[in-house]
Structure 1
Amino acid sequence: MTIQQIEYFLQLSEELHYWRTSYKVNITQSVLSRQIKALEDELQVTLFNRSNRKVELTPAGKFLQQQWKPLIDQVNASALYARKIHKGEGGDIVINHPGSITYDILPDVLARVTAEYPEIKVELVQIRHSQEIEMLKAFKIDLCYSRHKHEDELLTSVLIRHDSLALMVPAAHPIVAAADITRETLQQERFILSTFTDGETFGMKMEEVFSAYGIDPAVRFESDFGSVIMSLVKKGLGISVIPYSYSLANYPGVRFVPLPFEVPLYLIWRKNEENEVIRNVLDILIK
């Protein structure tokens, strides 16, 4: 039994006429008859009652028509989608990103992806920066926006841009401008910061910031999620240093004071990527 035989059967079950069916499927009537007979022999059921005047489905034929039609429709749809994937026009892609680009670059690049490839499904995730490399190499994510410049022989990356940093404080906090940020005003503050690992780009930048102000920050909470940090700052549990792009979220109850420091944003992917979908999306992201 082949998919082709099933398709012949379904077409004949709609037409109930051998000549019209053979014309539609572009085979001779005798070939169609042989294919249907071979299908009946393999199934050991009669699919059609035939007479000189008409062709009718048997009860078994009606049952198989109902069962097989949605299955064949799904097979054909899957085959079409596979062709789209092959051409890089459809499929799924998983992109990791820091929360700080949620409010500016991310919507813009996704709008470009959707405009070019409307049938690509994009899954957005935020994972700990310490897991980014292994998840890329394990094919659990496909593209990774990161504040950290990872070095790995199986990966490649490009610098997308630099983003300004800001001191985030509660709305009623006495620090309202850059001139208010001094060693004295920061020394007694509690800080809410991202989790750092020695040698990582973002962590090194934080060390540079605190060194410039001559303080050793008292870190009370750590989180890799900007939304959590903003919520804790709003609650008065501390202040933070985060990318200024978070200010675009218009989060109530907090204030962003620009700092004279910047952090990089990289896009990382697997070298020699073979997935056409990922390559096409990558071309859009690095334009």
Structure 2
Amino acid sequence: MMSKNANFGWNDANNASIGMTIQQIEYFLQLSDELHYWRTSYKVNITQSVLSRQIKALEDELQLTLFKRSNRKVELTPAGKFLQQQWKPLIDELNAAALYARKIHEGAGGHIVINHPGSISYDILPDMLARVAAEFPEIKVELVQIRHSQETEMLKAFKIDICYSRHKHEDELLTSTLIRHDNLALMVPSAHPIVTAADISTASLQNERFILSTFTEGETFGMKMDEVFAAYNIDPAIRFESDFGSVIMSLVKKGLGISVIPYSYSLANFPGVRFIPLPFEVPLYLIWRKNEENEVIKNVLNILI
């Protein structure tokens, strides 16, 4: 979590004092945000004198000055700014870990957050949730859809627990398994002249406007899109991007363009659009944290894998 320009190494850490408390660090971070003793003391529900004593005790422990104080304002010293940058993400991680420990303590009656692409909403997701509900009726399941670029960090930060993804993330703290491959399809408005796979060609696609998912460099699904367009020898004119398949289907129905999307979206029976299967597939992975300690998540994984 150290900044790239920080010259703070393990020798410094070994020599640092460990007498400070998490409470003192949290008071420091609150004051470093507010830069006002009265507002900070009100926010953390202590008196100004207690806040001042805690900050002074922290400074004494660290043997440095964290704030410049005057009658009119409070400012961070350079050392204070450095510690603010370093400690804030660490405190956030500590709080996240504490919340996660609470989830572990809850056991079978706990709460689990599952991320998924919209394309599985109409086939395996309902079946999966039915199995979970049958086995563990007291578990609360929260379903979210996040960007592929956020999946790894949110798993490691305990903000999501299980992740269905089109991208196989490589990370030493995570593990994954391939669930299946899904066919892609060309999605067009119902009245569009492209009706069958035989109608799909460079000429028929060349002047079309496309509505696609938002891609990041190196993403599996985005690379597959490049493969599709290379096969038809076109450089697609992308007019709209969305991370939500339901939005893409609505825009295609409105005649604002056509799309390439997993064929499983056809199970939504969305009116006004037509799906034409393509000879291309995209993977679907299940990803979770290695050495998972949460019994709720381990129980659910045993159902899903």
> Is this a same-fold pair by TM over 0.5?
yes
Give the distance between the partners of 1:277 and 1:86, measured in 2 at CA.
10
Deviations 1:180-216 (A, max 9, x none): 0000000000000011111111011001100000111
Distance of 2:220 and 2:204 partners within structure 1 = 26
Letter in 1 for 2:219: E
Q: Secondary structure at the match of 1:89?
A: helix
Match of 1:130 in 2: 149
In structure 2, stretches of 5+ residues that fail to align are: 1-100
Give CA deviations for 1:116-140 in whole Å, capped at 9, x if unaligned.
Answer: 0000000000111111111111110
Contact 2:167 2:219 in 1 (8 A): yes
Query: In the alignment, does 2:279 pair up with 1:257?
Result: no
Contact 2:221 2:282 in 1 (8 A): yes
Is the counterpart of residue 116 in structure 1 residue 140 in structure 2?
no
2:225 matched to 1:206?
A: yes
Conserved? CA contact 1:136–1:142, under 8 Å: yes
In structure 2, C-alpha distance between the alignment counterparts of 1:253 and 1:87, rounded to whole Å: 46
Native 8 Å contact 1:88 1:280 kept in 2: no
CA distance in 2, matches of 1:90, 1:178: 49
Amino acid at match of 1:264: P
* CA deviation string 1:55-111 (max 9, x = no partner): xxxxxxxxxxxxxxxxxxxxxxxxxxx9x9658421000000000000000000110
2:285 alignment partner, one of 244, 252, 266: 266
Does the 8 Å CA contact 1:88/1:276 hold for their aligned counterparts? yes
> For 1:125-204, what aligned pairs fall within 5 Å after superposition?
125-204=144-223
Return the letter of the residue paired with 2:211.
I
Written as runs of structure 1 = structure 2, the 5 A alignment for 1:268-283 is 268-283=287-302
Partner of residue 94, structure 1: 113
C-alpha separation in 1, matches of 2:115 and 2:169: 14
Whether contact under 8 Å (1:85, 1:276) holds in the other structure is yes
RMSD across aligned positions (CA): 1.7
* CA–CA separation in structure 1 for the residues paired with 2:143 and 2:106: 23
For residue 235 of structure 1, what is the aligned residue in structure 2?
254
Residue identity opposite 1:97 in structure 2: H
Does the alignment pair 1:106 with 2:125? yes
1:30 aligned partner: none
- In structure 1, runs of 5+ residues without a counterpart are 1-81
For 2:242, the aligned partner's letter is: S
Aligned residue for 2:139, secondary structure, equals strand
Residues 178 and 259, structure 1, Cα contact 8 Å, conserved in 2: yes
TM-score (norm 1): 0.69
Tell me how far apart the structure 2 counterparts of residues 144 and 87 of structure 1 sit (CA, whole Å). Answer: 21
CA distance in 1, matches of 2:142, 2:152: 18
**Cα contact 2:104–2:293 (8 A) shared by 1:** no
SS at match of 2:234: coil
State the AA in 2 paired with 1:266: Y
CA distance in 1, matches of 2:131, 2:191: 39
SS at match of 2:271: coil
> Which SS does the other structure have where 1:186 is aligned?
helix
